[in-house]
Structure 1
Amino acid sequence: MTNKAKPIEITTGHDIQVITREVYFVQPCNKSYFTEDAAINKYAHILASDEFSKLGKPTNEPDIKTQLPDGTPAFKRGAMLPEYIDRQAEIYRDLKRKLKKEKYILQLEKEWQKANTRFEEAKEDAVIKYGRLQEAITNK
């Protein structure tokens, strides 16, 4: 029996891999997640970040210089830009749509396999019964 790819693996071009225990391993960041949804969300962030990086656009507001309570200078990460959040959400929805389609295809394949098995069994039964009929006709 061959190890069939999961729909999420096909949808993401194997950048998200499903390990035996249903742990979703997101390839570009080498991190694992326990839910499919969390893995897709992380992958959408990776794709959106890569896209913004290639376009030379920032993903966050500029960092804010602050001080820790002990007086040590520190930087507070700026908030994500609305444009980035919208793009990430769009990618996430697209991945979910593709995943839903892939799961539907797998469901149809299983249904076809069942129907085909029943058909083959019925065909074999029909051949046997036809043979008996021919035998009964010739032995009249």
Structure 2
Amino acid sequence: MRVDLLDYFRGVRPWGQLFRFLKRLPPHGWYQSAIAMDEEIGYARAMQDRPEKAGPISPLGYSLPVLLQLRQIDLLKELMRVTASVFSGKLPPPIRPEPRPQTAEERIRDELETLNVKNAVDLILGVASQG
């Protein structure tokens, strides 16, 4: 079945049907990825409480199989580190995990958390220096 997007603008099809269709698109596809990387939507979502049943939304190209492969690489690095420690007698420094992109919401939440910690430290140090 083919659907013409103009049918929604012409009033042939209801808008609710389009919104339900968009919600069912895969989280690693173009549409959901564009939503996840949008700064304004990310800021609005970061200001709200996280829903308990929120599914993972990944930036474009980072589907579940790709994320699982990145995790396998991290585990192999850790295995090599432990194996090296057996032969050298000391444990090498911890590995750095493979980089993973962040959505706009995650990045803004991290920035807000860092700002809250900085404000708390400034408040504590300000109180301590006055006392």
Tell me the TM-score normalised to structure 2 length. 0.30
- Higher-Rg member (1/2): 1
Structure with higher RCO (Cα < 8 A, 6+ apart): 2
